[in-house]
Structure 1
Amino acid sequence: MATIRKRELPSGKIVWQADYRDGGGKRRHKQFAKKGEADSFLLTARGQVRAGTHVADSASITVEKAAKLWLAQAEKNGRERATIARYKSTYDIYIQPRFGATKLAALNAPAIQTFIDELTGTMSASSLAKVHGAITSIYKHAVSRGHAAINPARDIQMPSTTRDKKRPEMPTKEELRAILKHAPAKWVPFIRTAMLTGMRASELRGLQWRDVDLDAGVIHVQRRVDRYNKFGPPKSEAGTRDIPISGPMVKLLKEWRKECPKGEHGLVFPNGEGNIEGHANLLHRVFWPVQLAAGVTIETDEKGEDGKPVLDAKYSLHALRHAAAALFIEQGFPPKKVQTLMGHASLQMTYDVYGYLFKSEDDDRSKIAEMETALFG
């Protein structure tokens, strides 16, 4: 039977002690400063016992232990090495110092909300979302294994990111032409394919000749390569897609296939030995030097010997993906088709990133004029 009784501790402090039996029939108790807190706890605990989800504080594991179990399960489930490394880094840097030694049952929503509020403004919205996502996932795994009764991170209020959203940076048509003009001949096929297909760098690095149907003029995106040069599926189910290519692109790839270094994986864009090309190499040895040669640059805070600002490459490889999306939209592809070509998991994602590029089907100016006439005559 569950009861609440008033107790005086040896120190003279008065507490209210909630006594109850857990799901296994073992007596448990917890002390509170106020009777109302004990009442609230007991009501919740009894409901959890009936539902078979209750975990007593004394039987609870720490956040540190729960995090290790979560990471081990993610690895067992086949998550990519880079993903596991990101999970662990997020936990080690942000969560472990604050909550690592805390028991799951002792950590509540207000404490997590305060933590998120304190981090807000000190990092990007995406990084903050990763921190919250890690805490939520740790608890989700713990609840499913009976180590926690509830997930207190589930209903945390995250700051609005509407004001932080920026339009993606992408090269203009003139810059795209300049980049291609100054690219070494052996890298023209890679850069041109990136510009015209919108494929991710990881997908281009993992593209194999068996994925390229030169007769039909289609590239079948079926795999990617992570930062550790390990093959895996695209980022999402929607990432597996077919992208049409033009006659000139087919001709270019046919010519490139004759010169392409051969290797065990039959890669379309390998390194000089026919193996997987590293992402860092593509940037440092190819894409950044090409931009400098093409004059596609930005000024840095660093000064040269002549006292003038040192120039740096203006764009990342991902900017070519954004440029391709803009070209798709300019050609009149509807949003759903752009989503398919880009391999976005949802149409909302396409709108969130590129919505401003889609033209209204209506003549907006004439509609506004009609509205004004109807209002003022």
Structure 2
Amino acid sequence: MADIRKRNGKRGVTWQARYRDKKTGKIRYKSFPRRMDAEAFLVSTHSSDYLHDSDSTSMADAADRWLEVCTTTGRKGREPVEASTARKYAEHAEIIKEMMGGVMLSQLTPPICNQFRDDLLGHYSRRYAKKILTSFKSILSQARTDEFLKSDPAENTAIILSQRYEKKDEMAIPSVEEVGLLLRKAAELANGSNAQIRKAWSRYAPFFYVLAYSGMRPCEAIGLPWKDVDFDSSTVDVTQDATETGEIGLPKSASAYRTIHMPQVAMTALKKWKQECPDGVLGLVFPNWKGGVESHANITNRGWYVLQKECGLLDHNRKPKYPLKSLRHVRASLEIHNGATAKEIQMLMGHSSVKITFDVYGHLFKDHEEERAARADLIADQLSACGEYVAS
């Protein structure tokens, strides 16, 4: 049953649509200022995508639910996200709630989602707006799993980064000269006359040496135990990492388990540091002074940023020029410069796929056009024995 009734009330004349909810079987009512709107609504209730507001939820509640799933049980069979990712998600969720929190999911339409995207682009950089929109669409995906949403109104809402934009925003990697300057300054601070500074940098200096020469992620270096350092073979095994909450956990993925061959200069720095390294039950190479897990923030703020300021490596805002993770990319860029293949870089860096390697370092691989042309001629020579084509 479904009908429309004319009502006279405090708001004047309204048109009340009465219908039976297909999901619950309950009789429901919804009022409209125009009869044509009520008629259009009744038509929409026959759609399999229709969901009553009382069976939906707000964007704010959906965002909170999404964060809870991401950080506790994990989405779609995945493990819960790490603390650093959870912090970024929470930041995105707050922005989404501020801009869309009061909107019911059942009221979302493609035009509303497109307007949200346009608002993001008006307030944030294109790259950051794309990240927020990705979280927005992930929230809607979780809402569909929870049956608060029937279809995806943001299916065709997107922010595309052009190749020109990608080129402009390429990952910042310190130059060889800058890395040399940074490591020399770190060694100078570790051997200076001030006892307090010397003590602090006796730990920071070898940490930055390891990061630059190994290509390890900062969390892998912070979580590195001495048992995984082999001075005889000059290798380091990656078998664990340290979270931002100070816990020792498994590496980022199965491919992150790897053995890295280290240059002698880095192993020498480690040998010297081992004599001063604080003992701890975890047996870490770079613990805090009590032997526990060092804070990512301490390494970054008291070590890395200070080192860049000492070397004058600042941006136009007088801020440190490079994030800590940029030091990890130095080994990879030099390996590529010296002829390493993408597959070798994938294994060195612990990427889960070679696609990630190309996404990060693709612009560093040379386009060997002359070599390809020479190989084409070589192949032709090798195949000529199979029979030569003669033009008629």
Of 140-149 and 190-199, deviating more is: 140-149
| In 2, Cα distance between equivalents of 1:277 and 1:30 | 58
Q: Is the deviation greater in 54-63 or in 201-210?
A: 54-63
Map of 2:82 onto structure 1: 80
Structure 2 CA distance for partners of 1:143 and 1:198, relative to 1, 3 Å = same
* Secondary structure, aligned partner of 1:363: helix
What is the match of residue 26 of structure 1?
A: 26
Alpha carbons of structure 1 residues 60 and 297: separation in structure 2 relative to 1, 3 Å: closer
Q: Is the contact between residue 284 and residue 291 of structure 2 (CA under 8 Å) also seen in structure 1?
A: yes
What's the TM-score once normalised by structure 2's chain length?
0.77
- Deviation of 1:40 after TM superposition, in Å, equals 5.3
Compute the TM-score of the two structures, normalised by the length of structure 1.
0.80
Is there any run of 5+ residues in structure 2 with no aligned partner, and where? 74-79, 191-201, 378-392
Letter in 2 for 1:325: A
The 3-state SS of whatever aligns with 2:149 is coil
Root mean square deviation of aligned Cα: 3.1
Seen in structure 2, the aligned counterparts of structure 1 residues 299 and 197 have a Cα distance that, compared at 3 Å, is closer
Identical amino acids, percent of aligned pairs = 31
C-alpha displacement at 1:60, in angstroms?
A: 1.9
Deviations 1:127-162 (A, max 9, x none): 223322332222222222222222323432224343
CA distance in 2, matches of 1:263, 1:274: 4
Note the 1:219-258 alignment, pairs <5 A: 219-258=236-275
The answer (yes or no) to whether the contact 2:4–2:18 under 8 Å persists in 1 is: no
Instruction: Name the count of aligned residue pairs.
Output: 348
Q: Which residue number corresponds to residue 287 of structure 1?
A: 304
Deviation of 1:115 after TM superposition, in Å, equals 0.8
CA distance in 2 between counterparts of 1:366 and 1:157 reads 39
- Distance of aligned partners of 1:291 and 1:57 in 2 relative to their CA distance in 1, 3 Å threshold: closer
Deviation at 1:267, TM superposition (A): 1.1
Contact 2:7–2:16 under 8 Å retained in 1: no
Q: Which moved more, 1:211-220 or 1:131-140?
A: 211-220
Aligned residue runs from structure 1 range 1-377, under 5 A: 3=2, 5-10=3-8, 15=15, 17=17, 19-28=19-28, 30=30, 33-34=36-37, 37-38=40-41, 41-44=44-47, 47-48=48-49, 55-77=51-73, 78-92=80-94, 94-165=95-166, 166-184=169-187, 185=190, 186=202, 187-293=204-310, 295-298=311-314, 300=316, 313-363=320-370
Q: Aligned partners of 2:240, 2:131: CA distance in 1, in Å? A: 25
Code of the aligned partner of 1:202: C
Shift of 1:338: 1.1
Change (3 A) 1:131 1:298: closer
Please identify, of 341-350 and 198-207, the stretch whose mean Cα deviation from structure 2 is larger. Answer: 341-350
CA shift in 2, pair 1:64/1:283, >3 Å: closer
Dislocated runs of 4+, deviation >6 Å = 364-367
Aligned mates of 1:13, 1:236 — CA distance in 2? 62
